[in-house]
Amino acid sequence: MDTAELDALWERSTALFRRRQDEICSGLERLEQERGGTARFTEDVWRYTRGSGGGRTRVISEGVLFEKGGVNFSAVEGTFPEDFAATLPGPGRHFRATGISLVIHPRNPHVPTVHANFRFIAKGDGNEWTAWFGGGADLTPYYPVEEDARHFHSVWKAVCDAHQEVADYRAFKRACDEYFFIKHRNEPRGIGGIFFDYLRNELAATFAFVEAASARFLESYEPIVRRRWLTPYGERERRWQLIRRGRYVEFNLVYDRGTLFGLRTGGRIESILMSLPPLVAWEYNFMPEPGSAEEKALQLLQPRDWV
């Protein structure tokens, strides 16, 4: 890809991700308002100090529905460290990266945490660039419900099926199950979704897929939130939620590519770590009681064909 081609796709991708941030924040605020809350996203505009560009970090906190959530947009240019550049496709060390990344942590333990991100990255030197799309979405319920898992996966399967030339739901689901797995715990983080990276071929068709997929995020999550937001809970469920959030933190700090990418490229720390929940718990050698709802929850997290 030459620089002119990159410039055109970069502009389209940047505009897309900026627009999606606006749409998703508006949709989530609407849910918070319908639940009776007054919390709204606050915006923090920042500049990338190791190159050019910057982003908009939007965070909602202390809501009736959403205890904490963040929806990030960024578009930056810079130079990779030499050792990190060697791990990525293509020649050169100069990069451009734009995308949207979000993590939402609801207050009610029966409403799942959700994560999604869509990104466009280019790496090159001079007039020769290698570019790719990546992203996906996954659901982390504390008390999984099969109806919710089927809905979440059915939305992502439908959008993949509509773009079969570049998107393979089965492959993306399998990649998601493998990626969002906490190896040192030997357990899944949640019930998966789709995950893809380094999609370098047919970039025009891949852009169309990313455009369509990012438009479906609210559809994948909103009905689940509405079904669960009035489910009663007490101290037991809250304790379980905080323990499972600890697993979420472990994954993000040890394995998550987006977190590691941001840290290795000198990204803005507050924006990188906005994905972490506000409260977590680690209890030594905690094991759910046999036959409990918590034990059943762990069993339901095992990868399966949801649709």
- CATH number for the domain that contains residue 163: 3.40.1500.10
pLDDT of 273 strictly over 90: no
Question: Is residue 307 included in any domain, yes or no?
Answer: no
Model pLDDT, residue 288: 94
d(CA 91, CA 294): 48
Asked if the structure places residue 292 within a domain, the reply is yes
Query: What total number of domains does the chain contain?
Result: 1
Tokens representing 243? 């323990």
Q: Which domain holds residue 282?
A: 3-300
Amino acid 234: pLDDT: 98
What's the average model confidence in pLDDT over 214-218? 98
- With 0-12 CB in 10 A as exposed, 13-18 as middle and 19+ as buried, what is 31? buried
In this structure, what token pair is assigned to residue 103?
């993590």
CB 152 within 8 Å of CB 224:
yes
Percent of the chain residues past pLDDT 90, beyond the cut: 85
Whether residue 224 is contained in a domain is answered as: yes
CA distance 118 to 196: 9
CB count, 10 Å around CB of 218?
Answer: 18
Which of the pair, 97 or 260, is modelled with greater confidence? Answer: 97
Checking if the pLDDT of 267 tops 80, the result is no
Specify the pLDDT at position 125. 85
On whether residue 305 sits in a domain, the answer given is no
Q: Which of 94, 105, 110, 115 is catalytic?
A: 115
Which is nearest to 145 in space by CA: 191, 202, 113?
A: 191
Say which DSSP state 142 is in.
Answer: S
Q: Do the domain assignments include residue 306?
A: no
Known active-site residue 105: no
Helices (H), the chain: 3-34, 82-85, 146-161, 169-179, 203-215, 217-228, 235-254, 257-264, 269-272, 293-300
